[in-house]
Amino acid sequence: MVNRLQFYIDGAWVDPAVKKSTPVVNPATEEAMYEVALGSKADVDKAVAAAKRAFETFSQTTREERVALLEKIITAYKARIKDIGASVSDEMGAPLPMAERLQAGAGLGHLTATLDVLKSYEFDEKHNQAVITKEPIGVVGMITPWNWPLNQIACKVAPAIAAGCTMILKPSEFTPTSALIFAEVMHEAGVPKGVFNLINGLGPEVGVAMSEHPDIDMVSFTGSTRAGIDVAKRAANTVKRVSQELGGKSPNVILEGADFVKAVTGGVAHMFNNSGQSCNAPSRMIVPQGAMKEIAAIAKAQADKTKAGDPRADGTVIGPVVNRGQWDKIQGLIQKGIEEGATLVAGGPGLPDGVNKGFYVRPTIFADVTENMTIAREEIFGPVLVIMGAKDESDALRIANDTPYGLAGYVSADTIESARKFGRRIRAGNVNLQGAPNDRTAPFGGYKQSGNGREWGKAGLEDFLEVKAIAGYDAA
């Protein structure tokens, strides 16, 4: 039994300071499955005190000790990977095979990638008569989202452990169970008490208390741009580091001469993966204006193959979106696209055919979308793709960069050289060429209102380190 009515603080499961809970709803059935405890400022204070005490010793551990600890965490995680996948499927609606392979698998991927980085990372660097050393930043508050729960937990916790930091995690209240299992993994692995702490709760209570806490040295936040701005403002009074991975409206540019069938089919499949609930989803497909009808037809064929249904049923490609609030928002934006004159190619408002309950969205594609339309500007965060026409490559680049976001970009061209040249000019933290997937050893993060700081690989470790210059280190 997963312990959902307690928090993990200072190496033990403890009762909340104030008994308060909220139901966790299965988005496929719209039924409450169980209650999860909600924390308060008092719980945050208790967890921060534990983390602060633990930092005194954990920050002084050797690389070898932290390597050994990460190896134990990986072993314990592997033993629970099916449990983690099942909980993600139930709580956020991902099809079960995808939840096990990609959702739970992403957490394992970040743990192993961070272990590889730690084994060879140079914490000290000679510079003339000085030594530049990298030290753990301190106590870290981590606020993670529901859309890729284990991906975001692991790509924060793993480098924090590798750096020698201690931490308090607040996972999303919509997907708490996978995080609670992760806490059990940390306990099973023998993580020293106080190093890892978990409190469930709401942003306006637990998130605010963490952002404002004077003994938290850094906040690592993943979520909406609106919430990220609030975190940064609240953190400013204590001048703590704030690392953020926020929203996106990423361009997928398909240039003249590209293989349209391959690029469009792959782009649509990527957009619909995880029911469109990915911050780096290729949600704006920018194509040669003259090929709009051809490309729309290819996109429609792929949408028609994308079955939205029960996450536990065979053949399901995408499940529901996470909750009623998200469903309502997406429905409103689909309707807005119709009202503003975009061409509805596939999908549309309402539930998919044959579905009468659950927060399911019809895989939807709009063509002939112009830059002033709401669906071209706002992050929809559902299985809704917009296709925009460009007069030429220069126009495609202008449209691609005409967004307040800058998390990701995608380019398909006739040659890799053409894709490289175009990709370098996209203002985004991650650019994928010719359908290539992300590399977990490379940095992940955004420009502009998509955030600051970087996660994954070496850059992810360095986000949790302070830089100290020791002059005269080699003086006689």
Spatial contact of 422 and 400, defined as CB atoms under 8 Å apart: no
Residues carrying an active site annotation: 245, 279
What's the CA gap between 206 and 218, in Å, rounded?
Answer: 15
Spatial contact of 362 and 348, defined as CB atoms under 8 Å apart: yes
Q: What separation in angstroms does the CA of 155 have from each of 173, 181, 222, 238, 252?
A: 19, 16, 11, 25, 25
Phi then psi dihedrals of residue 122, to 5 deg = -90, 105
Spatial contact of 431 and 400, defined as CB atoms under 8 Å apart: no
What's the CA gap between 16 and 37, in Å, rounded?
Answer: 7
Spatial contact of 201 and 38, defined as CB atoms under 8 Å apart: yes
Residue 143: helix, strand or coil by DSSP?
Answer: strand
> What is the per-residue burial (b if ≥16 Cβ within 10 Å, else e) of 338-354?
eeeebeebbbbeebbee
Long-range contacts of 442-448 (CB under 8 A, 24+ apart): 444/155, 444/245, 445/245, 445/407, 446/245, 446/246, 446/248, 446/405, 446/406, 446/407, 446/408, 447/406, 447/407, 448/403, 448/404, 448/405, 448/406
- If one counts every other C-beta atom within 10 angstroms of the C-beta of residue 237, the result is 10
Sign of the four-CA dihedral 68, 69, 71, 76? positive
Of the candidates 324, 139, 303, the residue with the CA atom closest to the CA atom of residue 218: 139
- Secondary element (H or E) of residue 387: strand 384-390
